[in-house]
Amino acid sequence: MRIVKTAEERKNEILDVAEELFAQKGYDNSSTNDIIAKIGIARGTLYHHFGSKEEILDALVDRMTRDGINSAETISKEKRLSIYEKLTGILSSLSVKSSAGKEIMEQMHKPQNALLHQKMQERLINGVVPLIAQLITEGNKSGIFKTRYPEEAAEMIMIYGNTAFDDNENLTPGQKKKKGKAFIYNIEKMLGAKEGSLEKPLKQFF
Amino acid sequence: MRIVKTAEERKNEILDVAEELFAQKGYDNSSTNDIIAKIGIARGTLYHHFGSKEEILDALVDRMTRDGINSAETISKEKRLSIYEKLTGILSSLSVKSSAGKEIMEQMHKPQNALLHQKMQERLINGVVPLIAQLITEGNKSGIFKTRYPEEAAEMIMIYGNTAFDDNENLTPGQKKKKGKAFIYNIEKMLGAKEGSLEKPLKQFF
DNA sequence: CCTGCAACCGACAGCTTGTCGGTTGTTATT
DNA sequence: AATAACAACCGACAAGCTGTCGGTTGCAGG
């Protein structure tokens, strides 16, 4: 007797297994056969729920980035937080992105995952850059920042942050720490913030 | 009678065709069959010269980035250029990267080319970041820049520059110009350079 | 009860990459 | 000029991949 589930249940089941496999072997090296074998469903079932392998990836990227983007949105709305705290809060919420898929982050930069990386980056940029840009604009008005290009500064922060903190496996803890400090320092300078103004609130999150 | 060529000739021939195909259809959508059909060689011949499809990509990325990296090196050695001129010169030499493969740049951000993009980025970063970092350190010493993290600033400049100026197809000329200006402005601020100090020398190159 | 539909199945077509034993042209050596 | 050795070349083939499609089965509503 075959097992029937609701579309949503089945979709999530597929995404769960896909996430696990992609984390282990990478996107390119995981086949749709691997997925259906692990779940115990037929080819037709998989393609009943998703139109293609890439569509599975898209849905997975969506699910993986949703948390990060949501918490970034929540943080940016918190009225009792200062702009400094909001900005550093958003950045650190992204660096811990996908608590479930920590493993997947560790091989994000590998060739088999180039597409996954690109899609995640695009998604995060679209979701978070506007929030950061908004924060910078506010900071400009209140006088704690001073830059003529909030939007582009936000983009630069996001793109660099997302690419640079991906593949930190081969770095010593000391190097990691330096890289993080440099990041904050560079943001401060780019935004025309007072030196150290972002470093302090960041410590809340570590 | 079959045609025999030297290994180098044949390799270049393969890379030429690969470049053309990747530019038209993307890396993922181009098969090794497409390549050999277009040249008129057998499967075995292709695999005699390259161990895998990815190896072809690697060689192509190498060839495509070589010019940009070389000219960046040349510029950074030019004694009669100021640090400002060297820095802006390197940046603009990269933005015109691969004059032959302009077409390929236009679809670099598409999903089928994620791997190509990642590999080019990695190559450019490894080749150019040290040069920029060196320049920034020099500028620090001579007093025109002021930053505690030359290496990381260089990395940020490269990564953002490379990602942000890839897919500018859907931007109006006005938007493009603004983005470029913002880039220079943000660099100035991050490096602690005088406002406008980089904008002027940049105009030489346009 | 029965009917319609969503979930499910699995064989199959048509691709793909990479392998391998054998062939042919070239170049160095005698 | 004959020949030996080697690099370049060939193409059939294995193994695996994605996506399709006609048919089946369980469930929910009438």
Q: What is the mean pLDDT of each run of 10 residues along chain B (206 residues)?
A: 85 98 96 98 98 98 94 96 95 70 83 96 96 98 97 97 83 90 97 91 63
Both A60 and A131 in one domain: the answer is yes
Rounded CA-CA distance B21/B18 in Å is 5
First to last CA, chain B: 51
Q: Where are the alpha helices (DSSP H) in chain A?
A: 7-25, 32-39, 43-49, 53-77, 83-95, 102-106, 114-142, 150-164, 173-191, 199-202
Distance B7 CA to C22 C1' (A): 20
- Residues A11, A83, single domain; the answer is no
Q: Is the pLDDT of residue A107 over 70?
A: yes
In whole angstroms, what is the distance from residue B108 CA to residue B162 CA? 11
Co-location of B47 and B58 in the same domain: no
Query: In terms of domains, do B114 and B130 share one?
Result: yes
Taking 80 as the threshold, does the pLDDT of residue A196 lie above it? yes
B3 and B83 fall within a common domain:
no
Please state, in angstroms and rounded to a whole number, the distance separating the CA atoms of residues A46 and A41. 7
CATH number at residue A11: 1.10.10.60
Tell whether the model's pLDDT for residue A147 goes beyond 90. yes
Give the position of tokens 């593949």. Answer: A167
Q: Which of B79, B59, B87 is nearest to B153 (CA)?
A: B87
CB-CB neighbors (< 8 A) of B192 in chain A: 189
CB < 8 Å to A114, chain B: 114-115, 117-119
A54: chain B residues, CB-CB within 8 Å: 111
pLDDT higher than threshold 80 for residue A143: yes
Distance from CA of B186 to the nearest CA of A (A): 6
> What is the distance, to the nearest Å, from the Cα of residue A194 to the centroid of all Cα atoms in its chain?
28
Could you tell me if A167 and A66 lie in one domain?
Answer: yes
The whole-number average pLDDT for the span A6-32 is 96
Same domain, B178 and B117: yes
Q: Which residues in chain A touch residue B179, judged by CB atoms under 8 angstroms apart?
A: 152
pLDDT above 80 (res A1): no
- Out of B118, B148, B155, the one facing A117 most closely (by C-beta) is B118
Would you state the pLDDT for residue B73?
97
How big is the A-B interface in CB pairs under 8 Å?
A: 89
* Domain identity same for B17 and B60: no
What average pLDDT score do residues A1-10 get? Answer: 86
Question: Is the domain of A16 the same as that of A92?
Answer: no
Instruction: Give the CATH number, domain containing residue A67.
Output: 1.10.357.10
User: CB of residue A54 closer than 7 A to nucleic acid strand D?
Assistant: yes
Q: How far apart are the first and last CA of chain A?
A: 51
| pLDDT value of position A102 | 75
Q: Are the beta carbons of B91 and B149 closer than 8 angstroms?
A: no
What's the number of domains chain B is made of?
2
pTM greater than 0.75 (yes/no): yes
CA of A183 to C1' of C3 (A): 65
Please say whether the dihedral angle defined by the alpha carbons of residues B98, B103, B109 and B110, taken in this order, is positive or negative.
negative
pLDDT of the residue at B170? 81
Show the domain range for B129. Answer: 53-205
Q: Are B69 and B149 within one domain?
A: yes
Cβ–Cβ of A182/B114 closer than 8 Å?
no
| Cβ of A44 less than 7 A from strand C | yes
The verdict on a CB contact (< 8 Å) between A147 and B186 is yes
pLDDT of residue A90: 95
Chain D nucleotides close to protein (CB under 7 A) are: 7-13, 16-23, 25-27
Distance in Å, alpha carbon of A150 to nearest chain B alpha carbon: 9
Q: Are residues B128 and B187 in the same domain?
A: yes
Statement to judge: residues B29 and B106 lie in one domain: no
The closest nt to A44, taking CA to C1', is C9
- Cβ within 8 Å, pair B152-A54: no
Please count the CA atoms within 13 angstroms of the CA of A105 that sit on its side-chain side.
19
Percent of chain A at pLDDT above 90?
76
Q: Which of A60-69, A177-186, B2-11 has the lowest mean pLDDT?
A: B2-11
Distance B3 CA to C23 C1' (A): 14
Q: Where on the phi/psi map is residue B200: left (φ > 0), alpha (ψ -120 to 50), or beta? A: alpha
* Number of residues written out for chain B: 206
